[in-house]
Amino acid sequence: MSRPPLPPATIIDVAAKAGVSKSTAARALARYGSVSAKTREAVQKAADELGYQPNALARSMITGRTKTIGVVIPDVGNHFFAVAMRGISTAAREAGYEVLLSSTEGDLALERRAVELLAGKRVDGIVVAPVSTEDTDHLERLEGQGIAVTLLDRPAPKVKAASFVSVDHVEASTLAVNHLIDLGHREIGIVTEALMPAGWKPDARQESKKLRPSAARLVGYVNALRGAGLRYRHEYVAWSAYAKASAYEATRRLVRDNPGLTAVYCTDSELSAGAFAALQDLKISCPKDMSLIGFDDQDWATLVRPRLTVVDQPSYQLGMAATEELLSTIGSAQDRRGDRTLSGRLIVRDSTARPPNTSDR
DNA sequence: CTCCGCCTGGTTACGCCATG
DNA sequence: CATGGCGTAACCAGGCGGAG
C-alpha cells in the first residue's frame, strides 16, 4: 500500500487549512507582527496537523541569512580543537545558529576547498584556525562576500576584517618557564615544533600578535630566561615535528647532549607525551633529576606518575569567545574587529621540583 | 545560441478595513 | 482618528523552459 509521497506542507497549505492568508499564517507561526490569539491558535493547530516544518532554504533566500556558521580547523582529533569545538557549538546553539564543521588535516588545499564550500552554502560566518598565516587569499575573499571571519588561535594579518581570538602564548609560556626558574632551575631546555625563519635571533623583539602559537611559546621561553638574567643557549632548543615519536627522539638527544640540563619545557601536549616517555626510557628520575613541564592540560597528564605539571589554556572559553566575536560582527553591519586574548593558567603537579644538589643550604 | 519570464516558499512593506 | 488585525504584492537566488 505505498501511496505516493506527499510533498512537505508549505505555509500556503497551513494558511488554507486555517482559513487565513499566508502572511498571517507566517506571522502566527514565527511570532512577529500582530496576530490575534484566536487566529494564532487556529494556525498552530493546522500546522501541527499537517506536520508543517518551515523551509529554511526559502527563509534564507529572503532574509539573506542562513543562521549557520562554518568551522574550519586543522584537526578534530587534537584535544585543543576538540574542546574548543564544544565551546563553539554551545555558543552557536544558544544564539540559534547551526554549525558546519570541516577538518583540514593541516592541508592548505583542503582548507581552501572547505572555505569555498562553506561560502557556497552561504554560511553567515566562519571560525577558522588557518593552516598558514600568509596564504590566506581564500579568507580575504570572504570579506567581499559579506561573510564574517574570526580567526581562532592562529593569526592571519592579511585578513583585515577578521577578529582574532587567542590565548596569549608568550605570556603562558613565560608562566611555565618562570615556574621552573622560581624552583631554582638555571639550565632549562625546550622541546618545540616552532619553525622560526632562517637566521632567527632570540633577541629580536617579536610582535607576538603575528606569531603562530608555537613560535610565540618559544618567544615566551626566551623572554622568561632574559627576564631572569639567564642566557639563551641554542643547544638547549630541541626542534621536533608535531608528533610523539619525533619529540621522543628530540628529547633523548637534548638530554644526552646537555648533561647539565635540569629541566625540560615542552610547548605542546603531543611533545610532552614523547618527552615523558623518553625520560622514562632513559631511566632519568622525574622530578628528582629532571623537571618536566608541558603545555595544554590533557587527561593523561593526571594519570601518569609523576603527574604532569602544565600550563593550561582555556580551550572551551576560547571557542565560546570566538563564536561570540563572530556573531557580534554578523549581527551589526559595522565590521568592528574585536580581538580577544585569554590567559593561560599554571597547574603545578608532581613533575616539577627543585633541581638536584640544591636541597641543602 | 541568448534572453526573458516564471517558479519555488517565507518575509515584509504597505495599506485597507473594522472596531473603539 | 488611532490602532490592531489581516491581506496583497513585491521580493530574494537561481534553475528551467520557451521564445526569438
Domain ranges in chain A? Answer: 11-54, 66-166+315-342, 169-313
For strand C, is any atom closer than 7 Å to the CB of A35? yes
- Beta-bridge mates of residue A98: A68
For strand C, is any atom closer than 7 Å to the CB of A55? no
Q: What is the pLDDT of residue A145?
A: 87
Q: Under a CB-based contact definition with an 8 Å cutoff, are residues A173 and A216 in contact?
A: yes
Closest CA to A204 of A229, A185, A232: A232
Closest nt to A24 (CA→C1')? C6
For A206 and B6, how far is CA from C1' in angstroms?
61
For strand C, is any atom closer than 7 Å to the CB of A36? yes
Residue nearest C7 (alpha carbon to C1'): A21
What is the CATH architecture of A169-313?
Answer: 3-Layer(aba) Sandwich (3.40)
The reply to whether domains A11-54 and A169-313 share a CATH topology is no
Q: What is the pLDDT of residue A336?
A: 57
Q: What is the pLDDT of residue A53?
A: 86
Residue nearest C12 (alpha carbon to C1'): A62
Residue for cell digits 601518569?
A304
For strand B, is any atom closer than 7 Å to the CB of A26? yes
Asked whether the CA dihedral A91, A147, A120, A58 is positive or negative, the reply is: positive
Q: What is the pLDDT of residue A207?
A: 62
CA A187: distance to chain centroid? 32
Q: What is the pLDDT of residue A360?
A: 46
For A103 and B5, how far is CA from C1' in angstroms?
43
For A119 and B4, how far is CA from C1' in angstroms?
29
Residue nearest B9 (alpha carbon to C1'): A58
Nucleotides of strand B within 7 Å of the protein's CB atoms: 8-13
In chain A, positions 264-303 with C-beta closer than 7 Å to nucleic chain C are none
Q: What is the pLDDT of residue A201?
A: 66
Fold of A11-54: 434 Repressor (Amino-terminal Domain) (1.10.260)
What is chain A's pLDDT, residue by residue, as a tens digit (361 residues)?
444 556 778 898 899 888 888 889 988 888 777 888 888 888 988 898 888 988 888 888 888 889 999 999 999 988 899 999 999 999 999 999 999 999 999 999 999 999 999 998 999 999 999 999 999 999 999 988 889 999 999 999 999 989 999 999 999 999 999 999 999 999 999 999 987 755 566 655 556 667 889 999 999 999 999 999 999 999 999 999 999 999 999 999 999 999 999 999 999 999 999 999 999 999 999 999 999 999 999 999 999 999 999 999 999 999 999 999 999 988 665 555 678 999 999 999 999 999 997 654 4
For A119 and B5, how far is CA from C1' in angstroms?
29
What are the Cα distances from residue A151, in Å, to A17, A105, A135, A139?
48, 17, 14, 10
- pTM to 2 decimals? 0.86
For A10 and C10, how far is CA from C1' in angstroms?
19
Closest nt to A43 (CA→C1')? C6
Question: What are the helix (H) ranges across chain A?
Answer: 11-18, 22-30, 37-50, 56-63, 79-94, 108-120, 137-144, 169-183, 213-227, 244-257, 269-281, 300-303, 315-331
Is residue A68 classed as helix, strand or coil in its secondary structure? strand
Closest CA to A293 of A194, A209, A183: A183
Q: What is the CATH number of domain A66-166+315-342?
A: 3.40.50.2300
